Structure 1
Amino acid sequence: MTVTSGEISIREKIAYGCGDLSSNLMWGLTSSWLMFYYTDVYGLPASDVAWILLIARVFDAFCDPAIGYVIDRAGGMIVPRVIRLLAIPFGVSAFLCFLPLPLSPHGKILWAGTSYILFGAVYSCINTPYGALATMISTVAQDRVGLNTFRMMGCQLGQFSVALLTIPAISWLGGGDTMTQRQTGMALYVLILSVIGSVLWEAVSRVCVVRHPPPPVRHSPAELFGTLFRNQLWHICNALVFLQFVGIATFYGFAIYYARVLLGGSDSFGGELLTIATVSAFFGACLSPLSVRHLGVTGTCSVSLILQILGYGLIWLAGSGMTSFFAGFLLLSLSQGVASPLYYVLLAAAIDKGFALSSVNTAGLAYSISTLMTKLSMGVTGFLLAFFLSWGHYTPASVTQSPDLAPWVTAGFIWLPLGGAILQLGLLRLWPRQTPERNKNVFITP
């Protein structure tokens, strides 16, 4: 891939969005359906699932900074090559994560943990350079908003696909709804998604152009980490990202349980809710650039968080009432979609400010740790949610559940992410009014 200059074409923006489309065909499947797969399809106890989700993130703590450091040492031009090299391993590791080997109960737990750790490692090594790629395509804030809008559109399209197709595809490909048939259906379904995901990563590596590659960094790890840890905006971004993904993990990971336990619906109804949520979030992401023009990035984030808080309130007040529930559910998913591209814009601004102050390029390491924060957030949140199910005495694939379960599902779906949204509002008040970007002064807020 050669370095060129010029405006970013729609074709390149779409290609960039293909990366998050691929990620969310598989990562979206794990965030929305992995807990359901482990408990209701593969037959693992909820308490064991909690530890699998948490321990896998501990291993990621080593993968993300390692690949970020490699990228910084090698320079920006290595990014497309890394993505191309890992495109096929990404699909293979995702397939193994959902391959239901017929093992003993302890063997199943070991296989589930090992395969999920492998997938998380490959995901780290491909998604971290992908996240840093946007800063290398353009240094202009509005271009980055456009790129990350297409990224979030790809994310929502991936989430929409797995929400809409998962339950019907499992039943159709497996030939029925018994546990064995569901296992077969899930394996075939994930195999198809894995092939598609690998092809999409190839498109990213071949179409996206690195116009502003950071030069190779020759600083020691101690210098790089020292530069990062002196960057206050980067710390704020990490906290925001962590709390954002608490909301995402609870919303998509617990929606199916909320639908079944609080609303009295089926697995299919839970899938329908996820489909509605991803469509709404997709339109929210499309509205994000327009909102930024009027409110700025931090202003749009703040309004979005206020609307999310209102959405959680409506869902809680609705109880089992469908009209109020859907009003809150749509408001919540739409406002999450509006804010979704903007955390990456804030992160890019934080990296640029750090570079301006220190002249040390830490883009790869900064993005890698930010990616780690998303997965750590999802791991910790998944750990808590799985234990909420265990404490509520959840019985997989059972129509009748313990009366103790409803308060725990409500706590996981409403109160936990609501607290995260309130904390994000407080953090945004620490963000400075103006943040100059490299090569061009732009304002994050009007």
Structure 2
Amino acid sequence: MRAPPKTLSIYAAGHLAKSLVWAFSDLLFAYFAHERMGLPASDIGWILFFSLVYSGALDVLAAVLLSVFPGHEDRVPRAQLAGALLTAVSGVLLFSPLSISGGELFAWLLIVSLMFRTGYAIYDVSQNALVSLLPRDDAEARHYVTTRTTLSYLAKVIVALASFAVIGTGDRQGTALFILLPIAAMAVGAAVPMANYRIGRHADAEDTATSVGSPPPIRLLLPVLVAVAGQVCLLGLVGRFLPFAHDPQTRAPIGAALALASVAGGMFGPMLASWLMRGGERFALANIGFTIVCVASALVLVAGQSTLQMIAAAAVFSVGGGAISVLVWNELSDVVRSHAQATGRRADLASFALLTATIKLGSGGTGLFLGQLLDGYQARSAAALGTIAAATIAGGLLSIAALAASHGRRGGLR
């Protein structure tokens, strides 16, 4: 049985809009603030740090609140509408051209960034919850998950293509806002009809309460979360600098081309990981092999000597990154399921909230790196490039060790 077409279509529109808003802000906010509004790199770093740390804390808070007040499934669509409205308004303000500068500009962008993270946290948690609340059976649930995955990738492709209109296009500040306005309208437009939808008639209230009401198995999750922190250094740090990349010879901006190559390569990583990860020994091979691929291509991407070389490195880098992401999400899912089988209690929501919080906390750290190293990166300073390379290598080693420890411990328990 499949979901009612109208409900699935509304959900799909909402998820596409949410993914577009996140991908657009994540890829282009730092570039827009620095290149179009003139905010110093160090200030951008602090804005990213404060707003992402705040956003990570909100994820955990949302999970705690849902654990304390279970059984309110019908509030999720209304929470989605509230989150979509705040996300849309603050997102538009974030990319609106302004005539202020200095401390006023920093204060304005920090406040709006915090508004954006607040709205997006509500929007993201509620939209993700709909994946399990709307379906009426397992077949329908798989249909929703497939739709979600497809649209998440589509959003990245759209934003990568749109970045050509923003990166390296002179002083046209209004281009980013022109692109974002229909995305914001789409987010609100999809959330309005969903707000009156009655979840209760499709949800198993007892199962939902059990799922959200249990605390996460911290001891079992810790190695996975450490691996995620390492992967943020490995993947997220290099990604922060992509929009600012220039051709080493001509100094022409190539950030949009690198972003598109990265999205294209990322399509193949999950397929390769799924093919390799069919046994314990293949998990180890995938964990080590794809991490080495990421580290090696990241070093070429950071210190490449030609545009073609850097574009190829970006594609290979994202293949490895996509594969590693599959390993992490599968490992976390296995840990949560194993915990549920052993204790009879589900802790999915809290566990995945800790995962996304770890990603956001780590991303805040990469924002500080961006603020401190951007000028040196653009000048191709040996010190800046060496620091990025060292952090990337350290993140890769940490990821390999922590993920192997988690998988090995579960294998021993079995």
TM-score, normalised with respect to structure 1: 0.75
Q: Which stretch shifts more, 142-151 or 55-64?
A: 142-151
- Does the aligned pair in 2 maintain the 1:283–1:334 contact within 8 Å? yes
In structure 2, the partner of 1:352 is: 337
- The counterpart of 2:324, out of the listed 339, 343, 350, is 339
Query: Once the 2 structures are TM-superposed, how far is the Cα of residue 329 of structure 1 from its aligned partner?
Result: 2.7
Q: What CA distance in whole angstroms lies between the structure 2 residues aligned with 1:136 and 1:426?
A: 36
Encode CA deviations 1:157-188: one digit per residue, 9 max, x unaligned: 222222211242688xxxx732xxx2222222
Change (3 A) 1:153 1:132: same
1:272 to 257, 260, 263: 257
**Counterpart pick for 1:427 among 397, 402, 413:** 402
Where do residues 232-271 of structure 1 align in structure 2 (5 Å cutoff)?
A: 232-257=219-244, 259-260=245-246, 262=248, 264-267=250-253, 269-271=254-256
- Say which of 387, 392, 401 aligns to 1:411: 387
Q: Name the counterpart of 1:440.
A: none
Q: How far apart, CA to CA, are the structure 2 residues paired with 1:132 and 1:313?
A: 38
CA shift digits 1:350-386 (9 cap, x unpaired): 3333334444443333222222211111111011111
Secondary structure of the 1:430 match is: helix
The residue aligned with 2:296 is 310
In 2 relative to 1, CA 116–312 (structure 1 residues): closer, same or farther, beyond 3 Å? same
Q: Which residue of the partner structure matches residue 102 of structure 1?
A: 99
CA distance in 2, matches of 1:194, 1:430: 42
1:287/1:338 contact within 8 Å kept:
yes
Matches within 5 A, 1:27-46: 27-46=22-41
CA contact (8 A) 1:254 1:409 kept: no
Does the 8 Å CA contact 2:81/2:191 hold for their aligned counterparts?
Answer: yes
1:312–1:170 Cα change, 3 Å: closer
Residues in 2 aligned to 1:347 and 1:202: alpha-carbon distance in whole angstroms: 33
Cα pair distance change 1:292/1:130, threshold 3 Å: farther
Cα displacement string for residues 260-295 of structure 1 (whole angstroms, at most 9, x for unaligned residues): 17464423x210110111011123345554444577
CA contact (8 A) 2:165 2:175 kept: no
Residue 340 of structure 1 aligns to which amino acid in structure 2? Answer: S
Equivalent residues in 2 for 1:193-232, closer than 5 Å? 193-199=183-189, 214-216=207-209, 227-228=215-216, 230-232=217-219
Q: Do the aligned residues in 2 keep the contact of 1:91 with 1:197 (CA within 8 Å)?
A: yes
Structural mapping, 1:152-231, within 5 Å: 152-168=149-165, 177-178=170-171, 182-199=172-189, 214-216=207-209, 227-228=215-216, 230-231=217-218
Query: Any idea what SS the aligned residue of 1:388 has?
Result: helix
Describe how 1:26-105 pairs up with structure 2 within 5 A.
26-72=21-67, 73-75=69-71, 77-78=73-74, 79-105=76-102
8 A Cα contact 1:68 1:367, kept in partner: no
Structure 1, unaligned stretches of length 5 or more? 1-5, 395-400, 436-442
Tell me the distance in 1 between the aligned counterparts of 2:8 and 2:273.
15
2:355 is the alignment partner of 1:383 = no
| Paired residues of 1:134 and 1:147 also in contact (CA < 8 A) | yes
Post-superposition CA distance 1:140-172 (Å, at most 9, x none): 99999997676454333222222211242688x
Q: TM-score, normalised by structure 2?
A: 0.80
Aligned amino acid, residue 347 of structure 1:
L
SS in structure 1 opposite 2:406?
Answer: coil
Alignment RMSD, CA only? 4.2
How much has 1:28 moved relative to structure 2?
1.8
Q: State the Cα distance separating 1:245 from its structure 2 match.
A: 3.0
Q: Encode CA deviations 1:278-317: one digit per residue, 9 max, x unaligned.
A: 011123345554444577767644442232233235546x
Deviation at 1:26, TM superposition (A): 2.0
**Unpaired runs of 5+ in structure 2?**
none
Quick one: percent identity of the two aligned structures? 19
Q: Which amino acid counterpart does residue 30 of structure 2 have in structure 1?
A: M
In 2, the alpha carbon distance for the partners of 1:19 and 1:235 equals 32
How many angstroms apart in 2 are the aligned matches of 1:415 and 1:146?
Answer: 42
CA distance in 1, matches of 2:140, 2:295: 30
Residue 341 of structure 1 and its aligned partner are, at CA, apart by 4.0
Task: Kindly provide the amino acid, as one letter, of the partner of residue 236 in structure 2.
Answer: A
Range with bigger deviation, 244-253 or 156-165: 244-253
Which amino acid is the alignment partner of residue 305 of structure 1?
Answer: T
Q: Deviations over 1:91-133 (max 9, x none)?
A: 2222222223333422211110011111111111222344455
Question: Given the superposition, is the C-alpha separation of residues 308 and 375 from structure 1 closer, same or farther in structure 2, using an over 3 Å criterion?
Answer: same
1:202-228: per-residue Cα shift (whole Å, max 9, x none)? 7998799966664436999xxx6xx43
Amino acid at match of 1:411: T
